[in-house]
Chains A and B, each alone.
Chain A
Amino acid sequence: MVKFTVNGKEHTFNGDEEMPLLWYLRDDAKLTGTKFGCGIAQCGACTVHISGEAQRSCSIPMASIEGEEITTIEGLGDADRLHAVQRAWIEEDVAQCGFCQSGQIMAVASFLKDYPNPTEEDIDENHTNLCRCASYARMRKAIHRAATYLREEM
């Protein structure tokens, strides 16, 4: 049995511990904001936070999350209390099809903790999620905007 929390709530899991966290979140916990994109930790559509760090949940087996605190896009902010990255994403109108954007937002929320005032080069080197619609021009602006909001919150 594996015990962990998702968005602050306690969860236990008794199934196949080889199963990636992604499929637990989507199919068992019904948290479908976390998306499947590649299954090999290359695209980042499945990004969640594990104890605050961005991780690609398609490649995290259930066996490895004992005692961990998981945050998904559903737990990052809510409609009345958006996370700074979500606010910036809406204001810059980043999303096109939108499918990858939960993962993008989760990755950026984690990235900005390490780089609160990122340069373009910091973004290039560290933000590696794939957006097939190539919404990168607006994403760049939204990352800087979110960084400003987060600095103001501090």
Chain B
Amino acid sequence: MTKLNRRHFLQVSAAAGALVISSPKLSFAQNMDEGRYRNLDANLGFYLKIDEDNSITIGYSVPDDGTGVSTALPMLVAEELDVDFEKVKVDKLPPLYKKNDDRNGGDPYITDTYKGNPIHQSTGGSQAIRRSYNMLRQAGAEARALLMKAASDQLGVPVSDLSTDKGNVINGSNRLSYGSLAQKAAMVMLDFEPKLKEPHEHKIIGTDQPQKVAKDVALGAQKYCMDMELPGMLNAVIARCPYIDGLVKSYDDTKALEVPGVRHVIRIHRIPEDLSEQKYIADGVAVIADSHWAALKGREALKMEWDDSRWAHADNAWIDSNFDNLVSNATRNVRLEHGDFDKAYEAADRKLEVAYEQPYWAHATMEPPCGIVDVQQNKVTIIAGNQNAVRVMNDLMKVLPDYTHDQFDVTLMRVGSGFGRKFIVDAVTEAAICSKAVGKPVKVIWTREDDLEQDFYNPKGRHIFRGALDDDGKIVAANYLHCSTDNDFATHAFPAHHIPNYRGEVIDSKVLPSGPWRGPTENVAGYAMQSFVDEMAHMAGKDPLQYRIDMFRETGDTPHPGFSSDFMVADRFINVLQIAAKNAGWGKELPEGYGMGVASFMTFGGYAAAVVEVKVDDDGKLTIIKASSAADPGIAVNPQGCRAQIESGTLDGFSAALGQKIEIEGGRVINNNFDTYEMARISRAPHQFSAEVAMNTIEPRGTGEMALPAAIPALCNAIYAACGVRIRKLPIADQLEKALNS
């Protein structure tokens, strides 16, 4: 009963009276048994199901780590399908996985494409919306076209006489519900290409939609990986070597095995073995028990002796001196150069040489890393809460080389926050190692101490600028040395292209393992570059807002090396700056001790600006009075969700800037829980907050990372405006108290 229109990549089929469209064209739907796709060969990245009872379900495999894609992605389908979004049910699918992606092959983020549109299964890099935008709309449009074709056949009228509205095909006074047409629609052939709506025709995209999970979350009913169980499951807690690149020297598990409930103690070997490569799995010993509590007690009873020799010399001061050494002696990779910096700098009268620094930041995801794996003879069952569906399978196949992709049954849960940390599948990999060793399902939960000690931190970095003004107060020359992560993100950012004589250089520095953290590199490049611009504006005696706007006006659009946008569009930057400034009341008279700061930054193709108002008391006490953030992501699919991300990005930036710093002593991280790793509570969130999305019709970019890189420098610039103290080193911590009381 299935007919496939081969001009389209979407598989269309009828199952139990329903119209089902799935992608890619694999035999899923005809095997469908009341939606129990999990038991089938469910190689799909997406499906849409319209039942006879008019219920509509949209399934997708992109994980949601809190950025709201589980609401926004179905909106894309619903828009083109033309249904009432409130009535759409959403469903989470296992990852789509194709054989050619096994192990080393293929892009880990994409498993299939159609006409250049990826079937995207990852959340992160602000890519979920961007990379799903066309594919999911096409799916909705095709389903709508099939339903119209079925109605056309039934009524004997041309498709051109039909329209749709909220789940009905309409012809004059006739209204045929999608459900009544579903079975027929699954069997018709399309003789026309469905056309996507123009942005001005959107009825769902661009409307405020609450998160679909909001009620489940409020009831405590939303499940995360940590909440899941498999029958006969054991629980593992792992003693991981706390020293950087350290190893287990010896251990005694006698006492651990005496703890009631403890069943096994096994050795976990570092991955990779080569200590010169960044750690993926720490060297350690796993205690496997009936309950998490027994495993925790078992771990406490282990006697561990660690080999800490490799980095025993590393502490905060040593790492700082290592930076001094790198900056003086290491080879600099020139990443971007135009004009003649040296000549222009030499010739200028007004100059500034300044360095900014940030420490290592931890992800500290609210749900610590967790994984559940059952390695059986012919099957591997996995429950995980990770950001990239495909990477879970790729990484597990590395430790389970005897299994092929089709033997993996993966359930990906809602992610208890990710921020880049949950790209890494370490906890799940550990669960697989444990399960394979003991022949039972094993759940691994990391304690917070494990998490903060073994994180893949946002890298520590130093940013050294030399800048010069011309006679008009414009930046005529700048040299930016970014000593941290070797990539193009920092050196190409605003205002690199707005300075006629510029050299952006990078030195790679690495001690602790590092990985992506909300707005990788941009998060700190924003702080450094936008502090530098502010210092130059003040040296020039110019208004810092107008200074930026003038730079954009004068230079116009500038090139940008990828990262979701080939250009930086000056007008979009100016627009978000003006929105934030207007909402903040930029330029208004402020009382003594108050100040406003501004910054703007582009992250993953999205434009953001922030204006922050602060009060600094005589004794250095800092109060953030108001934050005004604005972002232009292009089309805001769900503006309410976008605003949530702008709010979150801004406050997350404040949290990092105010107090976060990983401390290292004797080759290990010593502040390993929330009593010593300081993250902002509600008391640090300003009482006044404005988050605005600039509305336009440009193809969308994700908002998860957009706001943070501008928020931190806007705060620091506001502090300078309020009290004259320039924050050249994060965190802000007690710097103001020290500076103003000395």
Contacts and interface: CB of A to CB of B under 8 A. Distances in A.
Interface of A: 16, 19-20, 23, 26-27, 31-40, 42-43, 45, 72-74, 76-79, 82, 86-87, 89-90, 93-102, 105, 120, 123-125, 127-140
A90 to B, nearest CB: 5
Contacts of B220: 31-34, 72-74, 76, 102
A122 to B, nearest CB: 11
A95 B687 contact: no
B674 to A, nearest CB: 4
A140 B367 CA distance: 22
A101 B218 contact: yes
B61 to A, nearest CB: 18
Nearest to A129: B681
B448 A27 contact: no
A131 B366 contact: yes
The CB with the most chain A CB atoms within 10 A, among B65, B366, B445, B683, is that of B366
Contact of A128 (B292, B367, B448, B681): B681
B670 to A, nearest CB: 15
A86 B682 contact: no
A35 B226 contact: yes
Contacts of B459: none
B648 A95 contact: no
Nearest to A99: B416
A27 B416 CA distance: 18
Contact of A132 (B215, B218, B366): B366
A94 B641 CA distance: 10
B129 to A, nearest CB: 15
Interface string B112-146: 00000000000000000000000000000000000
Contact of A96 (B364, B644, B682): B644
B683 A125 contact: yes
B642 to A, nearest CB: 12
Nearest to B680: A134
19 contacts: A23-B293, A32-B223, A42-B674, A86-B219, A89-B214, A93-B214, A95-B66, A96-B644, A123-B683, A127-B681, A129-B681, A130-B679, A132-B419, A134-B650, A135-B647, A136-B684, A136-B685, A139-B682, A140-B687
Contacts, number: 183
A97 B218 contact: no
Interface string B214-240: 111111111110110000000000000
Given A35-B226, A123-B682, A134 B655 contact: yes
A137 B644 CA distance: 9
B658 to A, nearest CB: 12
B158 interface: no
Contacts of A125: 683
A78 B447 CA distance: 30
B66 to A, nearest CB: 3
Nearest to B419: A132
Contacts of A45: 366
The CB with the most chain A CB atoms within 10 A, among B364, B655, B683, B684, is that of B683
Given A82-B219, A97-B366, A127-B681, 5 more contacts: A23-B291, A26-B227, A86-B218, A125-B683, A140-B687
Given A79-B219, A124-B682, A134 B291 contact: no
Interface string B195-216: 0000000000000001101111
Contact of A93 (B211, B416, B651): B211
B48 interface: no
A95 B292 contact: no
Nearest to B640: A93
A50 B675 CA distance: 23
A42 B651 CA distance: 19
Contact of A99 (B260, B417, B448): B417
Contact of B673 (A40, A98, A120): A40
B652 interface: yes
A135 B219 contact: no
A101 B217 contact: yes
B689 interface: yes
B85 to A, nearest CB: 15
Given A36-B226, A39-B447, A120-B687, A133 B648 contact: yes
A109 B66 CA distance: 23
A65 B442 CA distance: 30
Interface string B330-366: 0000000000000000000000000000000000111
Nearest to A58: B448
Contacts of A98: 66, 213, 216-217, 222, 414, 416
Given A93-B644, A98-B217, A134 B685 contact: yes
Contacts of B224: 35, 99
Contacts of A132: 364-366, 417, 419, 679
Interface in B221-264: 221-224, 226-227, 260
B368 interface: yes
A40 B447 CA distance: 10
Contacts of A43: 366, 448, 674
Contacts of B640: 93
Interface in B72-105: none
A96 B689 CA distance: 17
Interface string B382-421: 0000000000000000000000000000000011111100
Given A36-B368, A86-B219, A135 B648 contact: yes
Nearest to A120: B687
A109 to B, nearest CB: 11
Nearest to B415: A97
Contact of B215 (A79, A120, A124, A130): A79
A34 B691 CA distance: 31
Contacts of B651: 134, 136-137
The CB with the most chain B CB atoms within 10 A, among A35, A95, A100, A102, is that of A95
